Amino acid sequence: MSIPVLALIAFLPILVALILMVGMRMGAAKAMPIAWLVCAVSAVCVWGLPVNYVAALSIQGVISACGVLLIVFGAILLLQTLQVSGGMETIQYGMQRVSKDMRVQIIIIGMLFAAFVEGAAGFGTPSALAAPLLLSLGVPPMAAAVACLCFNSFPVTNGPVGVPTVVGVGSAVKGVVEAAGYPGGVDQFCFNMANWADFIHAPMVFILPLIVLGMVTWLYGPNKSFADGLKAWPFCLIASVCFEIPVQIISLFIGPELPSMLGGLIALGLIIPIAKAGIGVPKEVFVFGKPDTWEPEWYGDVKGSDKQPEMRMSIFMAWLPYILIGGFLAITRIWCGSMMKGKVMIGLSGILGFTADSAVKFKGVNEFIDVLWNPGVLPFIVIAILTAMIHGAVSTKPGVNFASISAQAWTSALKMMKNPAISLCASVALVKIFQGSGFNPATAAEVQAGTASFLPSMPMSMAIALSEYLGGVWYAFASYIGGLGAFITGSCTVSNMLFGLFQWNMAVETGFSKEIIVALQGVGGAMGNMICIHNIVAVCAVLGISNREGYILKRTFIPFVIYGIVAGIMGAFFISAYPNGFIM
């Protein structure tokens, strides 16, 4: 069977997911299991994998997904705890008093606060958390949705504790990195790749705020003027510098786990007093106007509440959970990780009998969750429990105590896990089949005689086919592949799992730097959050603007395209200047 035909068959599960989710508007919880089934059938019927091997790979994917779901659950639990306790209302109260200019509020909350949340929690939490804050401050729901989705981009590659890079890219390329004898192994490769990704993101950290403010003032402002947004450029520049410098330093000297979280936190600490002092803030205060002046398509069930948020506890106490998370992760990731990492492992070895030495033709199928190293357990779930205890004692919100906070937060968080669990398990199972498809069933005798004819894996088939047509300029398209993965799966992490090996193979085929090409994948997976169906649906849900997903997608698609163009230009420059990448 020819490589182009194999490539088309390999792309079929992705195409099916795209048709179901976009064309037929089917939810990911229904679409991704169907896409997994198509992938499994292709693996058996075309790549010749035994059914039990495909089943083993799928089980491996489910176990891997459970590790990610722990993080998702911990993030949601903490968010629900803060909402019930009144901590989020207090954060909202404090934000209102920083500046009355809504362009400034969008930068502080939609960009910097969301960047911090992305670094600490991720998985759609930033937009779902920041957008309601902006709504409560008087920003139209549609403007809040567009702004928050667009800003949920450059912090994502280093997103929740570096998961998109360390877990997503690391799991995808571990085998080929080790086989290539890469100095320092997969950890060093991910470190280097994350550095390149941050360099590629850098221009958009400065460009995107101007695009976003211009869009929201043009589409939703009283003057319908793009220039109204651009008038805030001095403040945008200051905010970008406050964020980007810490990000680059932390990425270069510590690693991919902390840049977004600490970069956002440091930037918030710097920009809030700057905003209060009026430095860089436009003299003419910009507001969107009263809700009764908004056009009907700007909102759905919720226009915005006239009720002002109340201070339910001290500002410090409201922010304490995030301070504890930042401190805990910084300490464990920098100084005492060896005390926790690898100490409690839950999973399976030799799944369905496929051990490392079970047969020449198959790899061992193993998967474990590193419990104490998983941020969903430590610190998210633990700190959520501590927050319920502390806020239950200090909150002035009626009826709030430890028992009531815990009951409501845990119930809400568990209810919210159903659809993410189904879609993520199916997505990661599909990814594992993609990765394992290269181990076709040739007999041991054929392997030893050198006569075995292995089909290239699904990602490799696509890489070879595309390299024949786009190989010379692949750097211009690599980020869009990452964006497609995030669009389909709803996760930069899963996009990197899905296409990380594919991008490595493309680098091999084209001769470009593996670090830079895979970094473009990480950048693409991040910018894909702008158009990610999961994120759009989540934002619409919290803002009460259901059935407007297509409208929002049209608005965020333009910044997505611009982001990819800039990423391609940066990729071309770095590949030309550093053709072999670098090893630190």
How far apart, in Å, are the Cα atoms of 431 and each of 13, 60, 96? 11, 10, 44
H helices within 19-46, ranges in order? 28-45
DSSP state of 150: H
Whether the CB-CB separation of 251 and 195 falls below 8 Å is answered with yes
Among 41-55, 304-318, 373-387, where is mean pLDDT lowest? 304-318
E strand or H helix at 345, and its extent?
Answer: strand 345-348
**Integer Cα distance of 197 and 477 in angstroms:** 15
Q: 478 with 520: CB under 8 angstroms?
A: yes
Question: CA-based Rg of the chain, rounded to a whole angstrom?
Answer: 24
Q: Per residue in 543-575, pLDDT tens?
A: 777 667 778 888 999 999 999 999 999 999 999
Alpha carbon separation from 78 to 19, 62, 82, 133, 301 (Å, rounded): 35, 24, 6, 16, 26
**CA 474 to CA 502: how far, in whole Å?**
12
Residue 345: both structure tokens together:
């492992």
**pLDDT of 447 strictly over 50:** no
Calculated CA dihedral for residues 184, 341, 323, 383, nearest 10 degrees: 150
Burial of 497 (0-12, 13-18, 19+ CB in 10 A): buried
Q: How confident is the model at residue 408 (pLDDT cuts 50, 70, 90)?
A: very high
Most confidently predicted of 54-58, 289-293, 328-332, 415-419: 54-58
Give the separation between CA 279 and CA 237, rounded to whole angstroms. Answer: 11
With pLDDT > 70 as the criterion, what percentage of the chain qualifies?
91
If we measure between CA atoms, which residue out of 464, 576, 463, 469 comes closest to residue 521?
A: 463
In this predicted structure, the answer to whether residue 450 has a pLDDT above a threshold of 60 is no
Kindly report, residue by residue over 119-151, the tens digit of the pLDDT: 876 766 677 778 877 887 788 989 999 999 999
Residue that wins the pLDDT comparison between 215 and 308: 215
Mean of per-residue pLDDT scores for the chain: 86
What digits encode the pLDDT tens for the residues 248-269? 999 999 888 889 988 998 999 9
Residue 254: how many CA atoms within 13 Å on its side-chain side? 25
pLDDT at 404 over 70: yes
Q: Minimal CA–CA distance to 169: which of 146, 192, 138, 145? A: 192
Containing 550, the helix (H) or strand (E) segment is helix 549-577
Token pair, residue 246, equals 């810490």
